A and B are shown apart, each in its own frame.
Chain A
Amino acid sequence: RLGPVRWTKVTATGCTASTPPILSVRPSRALVDEAFEVLVENLPPVSPFTLRSLLHSEDGDDWEAYGRYVSDHSGRVSVSEDLSFGGTYSGMEPMGLIWSLRPVPGSRTGLRLRKKDVTTPMLITISLYNGHEDFRDNSPLVSMVTERWYMGPGIQRIEITDGELRGALFIPPGPGPFPGILDLWGGGGGLLEYRSALLASRGYVCLALEYFKTGQMKSTDMSFEYFENAYHVLKDHPQVIPDRVGIISLCLGTIVTLGLVAESTEIKVSLLLTKTYEFNKIRVDENNHQIWRDVGLALLQEPSMKVDVAKINCPLLLVNGCDDQNWCAVETADDISKTMNAAGKGHLLTRLDYPETGHLIEPPFSPHCPAGNIIMYSSNQKVIQRYGGKTKPHSDAQDDSWRKILSFLRHHLYCSQKAKM
């Protein structure tokens, strides 16, 4: 962590209109898991500047991040190469302007940044201000808009509304067929497409499945048949290679996934990102945010509440945050690991446990959400849940885990010569 920095304040006039700085963001249009380079040139040498990113979300909230920089003797600031001396991030952080985004002061509480319309990009304005003081009252010297996309060019998005099944299917461009992935989210409900769109951009036919609407849960929605049906719709799709289908899930979805892979003989690979249940052992922290961690700990003591993971026959990747305040992810992973090892299935299991990382392990550069609003599906009540994690380690975990997830998927769904275990 950087302490206060001393530097000699050069009596430069700072930037004026007659010597306009040059700001570039490359690439200016990128997928959300791609890095960019932010470079400023033509600045007065060894002078203080603040770079700020601003995003206006679909929900109408403003998110910002900023870093304080000092130009070098050639009048240049390079976010990829220079140190941020503070702000919402510090140190050498090429993507700090994205992953440290947070609601601007005065915003509503419990916000979480999630893109609903994946057919349009997130628009982020990157601006440069003179000095290191509060920039909010000043005009930027120069700014640039950059687009961050979940969907690559040529990806097809198809809404699934036939019969019982609700979701969105994403198909990559090209002749196909492709490996398929069923994408299951968690206790917040609704239909979240962004991870599926991104996986399609990485070469998979991906079905984002809605299994209950926000705030409502019907017992039929959670039936095994609903998910098996979804799995078959995916597997039987003409653009999908039927013996190369996997599942990715987070939170509540992982229970479903484990159930599916344990009880079904067909699923090729599955990947879980933490988990949750809902019970009465909820604590509340100093901010009145709910901590559900202990719910899970209690649950782990109840064999009847657990999926029999000894029956799993496909490779399984568990991604856990060690500071998950919503679910005891690490303890759960320990339990799964113990059971699978005892059953001789330990070779199927891979675990990634990330220190100081919370519950919501999202695609890279997504802003860290330490606590968020959620509508309880049982009571339709809005509460704030604490998810845990410290921003920088959590963001690093998102970056690292995404690459490892993609490599796990690629290894088993693209490269593997064997169709099934």
Chain B
Amino acid sequence: MDEKRCCVTLSVQPSRGLVDEKFVILVQNSFPSSLLTLYAHHQCEDGYSWHAFAHYTSDATGAVNGVGSYPRCQTHSHVTRNADSFSCFFAFHFTVSEDCSTGGTYSGVEAMGLLWSLKPVPGSKPGLRMRKKNVQAPMVVTISVYSGHLTEGFEDQVPLAGVEVERWYMAPGVRRIPVTEDGLTATLFLPSGPGPFPGLLDLWGGGGQLVEYRAALLASHGIASMAIDYLTCKYTMETGKIVEQDYFEMAYKFLQKHPKVLGSRIAMLGLSLGTSVILKMAVHSQIVKLSCAVCVSGSHVQPMDGFLKEMVDYLGENCGNARFTEDNEVVWRDVLLPIPTDLSLKVDVGKLQCPLMLIVGEDDQNWCAYESAMDMKGMMERAGNNHLLTLLSYPNAGHLIEPPYMPHARVSHFRDVLSQQKMMVLWGGQTLEHSRAQEDAWRKLLVFLRKNLYSGAKSGSLSLSNL
């Protein structure tokens, strides 16, 4: 019997967590001075394999219960793979959240590195992006610890120990309700409990479909959230026509009159093209009265005359500004540049009356989100309503700023619903900074939503303790 194999134990707490919750990985009983590789494996719903790995070193310094003194690692954001001069000493256990990886798909002290640095295994089809479709089942990740510093061949070696970890978009008690009334193609997620709850409309971008995971996660945080399909919805599929403003007003009214929703506390959250819809509605709709809006990676540039169809046409007219990289990836960010000065071509956010959070990545290669945000800031400063604006701008983050710890896709296959074209799109972002941005943005987004959707009590400060 291999004595060495017998000893090492691996635990992950919590073993069943929400997608945006941190976990703690603890390796115990490793032999002195052993080189270890932590490895994560996930098979996504489309059947592709993803993996991540990191190199650690353990060094026994004494006490039987593994607690000893050891020099603390510094947090390094930019530790390179070949950091020979840099080593970490541990008691004969180590904790990923406290100790340093010296190489792998991430390095440094990264509690959640095994998740956000997940990449398709070598030999995979290019352009993959991980997105959960069935939010009622968890994402299952196998986390193992191997002897030695491996970079490949994980399938051929038997690990020292392995555990399974579940990551959930839906907290217990959250209810998923498909919505088809009023001509809508949507899914409502109600938080656990009697309610009523503040509400939120969740819009994605040009890829269409009914994307549920972010709404499910927000419901797990106490917000009745409705994910809406507005490009490939039943109406559009049957008539061939793009929806108009009243489609979104119908969605708003549906939430407003829902018995489990507080009609006076409704927000909208959108990414990419979804931002265009939200900004237009927030300023120009007579029906939609938002408590607040969150716009991720989008722009206010659109023809004021008309709505979504006209926006789509406008994008089509300007698609000549699109470029291609040497790898034939589409770069769309110039399509709306330069930001027009003509007020008939952009939403006048100076007229906005609700708090607005803009989240942009400065390496967004798909939309000119940063330039748009700067322009919006200027408009609001001149109009005197910039106290409503919270601007989060992240260097080296790309277009797809999603809930935290999910793998970053710098490039992926994309099927543009509007043009029906399939292509490889460059979204942008450097993995480490993009992942940090996702974590920070999500936390701030939740605080912003809570402040604007839950405030009213005399109590004041809301803690970040749950985030």
A18 within 8 A of B: yes
The CA-CA distance from A279 to B161 in the complex, in Å, is 48
Give the residue among A149, A201, A203 with the most B Cβ atoms within 10 A.
A203
Contact A18 B262 (CB under 8 A): yes
Return chain A residues, CB-CB under 8 Å to B197. Answer: 20
Return chain A residues, CB-CB under 8 Å to B161. Answer: 174-175
The CA-CA distance from A19 to B451 in the complex, in Å, is 11
Return chain A residues, CB-CB under 8 Å to B461. Answer: 74
B29 within 8 A of A: yes
Partner of A27, one of B21, B64, B142, B450: B21
B192 within 8 A of A: yes
CB distance from A225 to the nearest CB of B (A): 27
> 24 A-B contacts, Cβ less than 8 Å apart?
A18-B262, A22-B450, A24-B222, A24-B466, A26-B21, A27-B17, A29-B172, A42-B450, A71-B459, A74-B460, A146-B172, A147-B16, A152-B164, A153-B15, A153-B16, A153-B165, A173-B164, A174-B162, A175-B144, A175-B159, A175-B161, A177-B6, A410-B9, A415-B64
A23 within 8 A of B: yes
Contact B459 A414 (CB under 8 A): no
Return chain B residues, CB-CB under 8 Å to A123. Answer: 172
Return chain B residues, CB-CB under 8 Å to A42. Answer: 450, 454-455, 457, 459, 462
Q: Do A39 and B454 contact each other (CB < 8 Å), given the known contacts A175-B161, A414-B29?
A: no
Residue numbers of B with Cβ under 8 A of A are: 1, 3, 5-7, 9-10, 13-18, 21, 29, 64, 140, 142, 144, 158-166, 168, 171-173, 192-194, 196-198, 220, 222, 262, 264, 450, 454-463, 465-466
CB distance from B40 to the nearest CB of A (A): 14
Q: Which residue of B lies closest to A175 (CB)?
A: B158
Return chain A residues, CB-CB under 8 Å to B458. Answer: 12, 44-45, 75
Return chain B residues, CB-CB under 8 Å to A43. Answer: 457, 459
A143 within 8 A of B: yes
Return chain A residues, CB-CB under 8 Å to B166. Answer: 29, 153
The CA-CA distance from A22 to B15 in the complex, in Å, is 24
Contact A143 B192 (CB under 8 A): yes
Per-residue contact bits, chain A 343-359, to B (CB 8 Å; 1 contact, 0 not): 00000000000000000
Contact A75 B193 (CB under 8 A): no
Q: Count of chain A residues with Cβ under 8 Å from any Cβ of B?
A: 59
Residue numbers of A with Cβ under 8 A of B are: 12, 15, 17-20, 22-24, 26-31, 34, 39, 41-45, 71, 73-76, 121, 123, 125, 127, 139-140, 142-147, 149, 152-154, 172-175, 177, 179, 201, 203, 241-244, 410, 414-415, 417
Beyond A24-B466, A39-B466, A144-B173, list 10 extra A-B contacts (CB 8 Å). A22-B454, A26-B21, A29-B166, A29-B168, A29-B172, A140-B194, A144-B171, A153-B164, A172-B163, A175-B159
The CA-CA distance from A250 to B1 in the complex, in Å, is 31
Q: Do A144 and B192 contact each other (CB < 8 Å), given the known contacts A34-B13, A75-B460, A153-B165?
A: yes
Return chain B residues, CB-CB under 8 Å to A44. Answer: 457-459
Partner of A174, one of B144, B220, B450, B457: B144
Give the residue among B9, B196, B456, B459 with the most A Cβ atoms within 10 A.
B459
Partner of B172, one of A28, A172, A414, A417: A28
Top 9 closest A-B pairs, CB basis?
A75-B459, A154-B164, A145-B173, A174-B162, A29-B16, A27-B14, A19-B456, A143-B193, A153-B164
Q: Which residue of B lies closest to A23 (CB)?
A: B193
Give the residue among B144, B171, B196, B220 with the most A Cβ atoms within 10 A.
B171
Return chain A residues, CB-CB under 8 Å to B159. Answer: 174-175
Return chain B residues, CB-CB under 8 Å to A121. Answer: 172
Return chain A residues, CB-CB under 8 Å to B6. Answer: 177, 179, 241, 244, 414
CB distance from A97 to the nearest CB of B (A): 15
Contact A20 B198 (CB under 8 A): yes
The CA-CA distance from A244 to B458 in the complex, in Å, is 60
Contact B9 A203 (CB under 8 A): yes
CB distance from A154 to the nearest CB of B (A): 3
Return chain B residues, CB-CB under 8 Å to A179. Answer: 6
The CA-CA distance from A73 to B459 in the complex, in Å, is 7
Contact B16 A241 (CB under 8 A): no
Q: Which residue of A lies closest to B166 (CB)?
A: A153
Contact A27 B16 (CB under 8 A): yes
Q: Do A20 and B262 contact each other (CB < 8 Å), given the known contacts A29-B16, A75-B457, A241-B6?
A: yes
Return chain A residues, CB-CB under 8 Å to B466. Answer: 24, 26, 39
Partner of B459, one of A74, A177, A244: A74
The CA-CA distance from A177 to B4 in the complex, in Å, is 11
CB distance from A118 to the nearest CB of B (A): 15
Q: Do A41 and B172 contact each other (CB < 8 Å), given the known contacts A23-B193, A154-B164?
A: no
Q: Which residue of A lies closest to B461 (CB)?
A: A74
Q: Which residue of A lies closest to B465 (CB)?
A: A39
Q: Which residue of B lies closest to A75 (CB)?
A: B459
CB distance from A130 to the nearest CB of B (A): 13
Return chain B residues, CB-CB under 8 Å to A410. Answer: 9
Return chain B residues, CB-CB under 8 Å to A125. Answer: 173
Contact A173 B142 (CB under 8 A): yes
The CA-CA distance from A415 to B3 in the complex, in Å, is 10
The CA-CA distance from A153 to B262 in the complex, in Å, is 37
Q: Which residue of A lies closest to B140 (CB)?
A: A153
The CA-CA distance from A146 to B64 in the complex, in Å, is 36
CB distance from B150 to the nearest CB of A (A): 15
The CA-CA distance from A143 to B174 in the complex, in Å, is 11
Partner of B192, one of A73, A145, A201: A145
Contact A173 B21 (CB under 8 A): no
CB distance from B131 to the nearest CB of A (A): 22
Q: Do A140 and B144 contact each other (CB < 8 Å), given the known contacts A24-B466, A153-B166, A415-B29?
A: no
CB distance from B19 to the nearest CB of A (A): 12
